[in-house]
Amino acid sequence: MTHLDILKGKLADKTALIGIVGLGYVGLPLMLRYAEAKYRVLGIDIDNDKITQLNLGQSYIEHIGAQAIAAAKSAGFEATTDFAQAAKADAIILCVPTPLNKHREPDLSHILSTIDALLPHLRTGQVISLESTTYPGTTEEELLPPMQSTGLTVGKDIFLVYSPEREDPGNGNFTTRTIPKLCGGITPSCLEAGLALYGQVIDTLVPVSSTRTAEMTKLLENIHRAVNIGLVNEMKIVCDRMEIDIHEVIRAAATKPFGFVPYYPGPGLGGHCIPIDPFYLTWKAREYGLNTKFIELAGEVNRAMPEWVAGKVVDALNAHGKSVKGSKILVLGTAYKKNVDDMRESPAIAMMRILEGKGAAVSYSDPHVPRLHPSHDQPFALESVTLSAQTLAAADCVLIATNHGKFDYDAIKRHSRLIVDSRGVYLEPAAHIVKA
């Protein structure tokens, strides 16, 4: 039997050990899905705190409960910081971050350091899958050469695929299992191994001709959103100047049963994918002498939104006889999207920075983020304020940055002196509500 046949047999009868490197918003749900499907799973992460919590049966992601972690542990899940344990795994799935550096260029350091840590422990009969969003060519150019340097033949001894994550934290309509999964392989045998890896845990698989195609597909998905959000954000600015409610326009346009898909403006883009992924393609396109002007323009519009909304706060305060300097501004919602605790690339933090820089006293309330811890990209050390009639009335301005479902918007409207609404929460105009 070939190494591929043996691997497929282990995956089919669920005797394969699944290794997942990176236990964040992508890796942890994937671990739970494999454990639910009765696979043994080995989780690897460089964060000691995460490993400790997981081994104690605890969760650090709000929408993933401790019960789910405990169930995975009872099914054989183990977590470790020791990359040598990867030698035991029949499949290794990489779910590590791919941020931008300070020059807004792709930062593959997490992928490269992970591969370096894994190389001594790779062996025949394994399938390696990269799920991190990246530019077309990454799997071939950055993972394939070091794997070949081990003496293992990719496509015969060991198998390499790219299968991008499609997680949407907080979306109750789709799960890891029900979201169709792309997969591209370095060779046909690699693709076969990848399909065997995911086939028993994902309902629908979408094989594509190459890893480059899979990488480009993932970028297109997120660039599509970024460009359309950029369009409605630009339309919002035009509508604001013309004293037209962009949300009313979108609601009216959405009644057309064909040819229009509603996208909604906001204070800027957040999360790991949509604000970042377009820059992976624009960077790679320059290697081919191409300028992706349309994509870059959308990025410029979206990056300008926190400054624009902060400007609306300043104008609203001025209109009510207040200077932003010394004003108390209560920001509602610091997560990047509604009903989650994910803070990555949150535009709320960008707006808080801007307003504090103008002399405002900034506080926040977020039922999903009880406290802010200072980090390299987040300077605030604050605790979430409990919303009450008193806390709302004490603020000179309440800025709705994230429209969480747990907020009582009627009470917010009733008790706030001034509201700047960047999410289109309030449909009806009011003297103390400013649309932004």
Separation of alpha carbons 175 and 202, rounded Å: 10
| Residue closest to 33 by CA, chosen among 203, 188, 154, 267 | 203
Beta strand 382-383 with 371-372: parallel, antiparallel or unpaired?
antiparallel
CA 23 to chain centre: 13
Separation of alpha carbons 103 and 114, rounded Å: 23
Separation of alpha carbons 120 and 156, rounded Å: 19
Q: Which amino acid is at 203?
A: D
Separation of alpha carbons 327 and 22, rounded Å: 42
| Residue closest to 79 by CA, chosen among 101, 100, 50 | 50
> What distances in angstroms separate CA 405 from CA 168, 361, 368, one per listed residue?
17, 26, 11
Scanning the structure block, which residue is given the tokens 């326009």?
249
The half-sphere exposure of 358 on its side-chain side, counting CA atoms within 13 A, is 20
Separation of alpha carbons 37 and 75, rounded Å: 10
Expressed in angstroms, the distance from the first to the final Cα of the chain is 64
Q: Are 25 and 64 spatial neighbours (Cβ–Cβ below 8 Å)?
A: no
- Supply the angle between the helices 66-74 and 48-55 in degrees, to the nearest 10: 70
Catalytic residues: 273
- The phi-psi region of residue 133 (left if phi > 0; otherwise alpha if psi is between -120 and 50; otherwise beta) is beta
List, in sequence order, the alpha helices (H) in 119-210. Answer: 138, 144-148, 188-199
Beta strand 159-162 with 127-130: parallel, antiparallel or unpaired?
parallel
Scanning the structure block, which residue is given the tokens 């791919």?
98
Separation of alpha carbons 190 and 214, rounded Å: 14
| Residue closest to 41 by CA, chosen among 80, 96, 84, 82 | 80
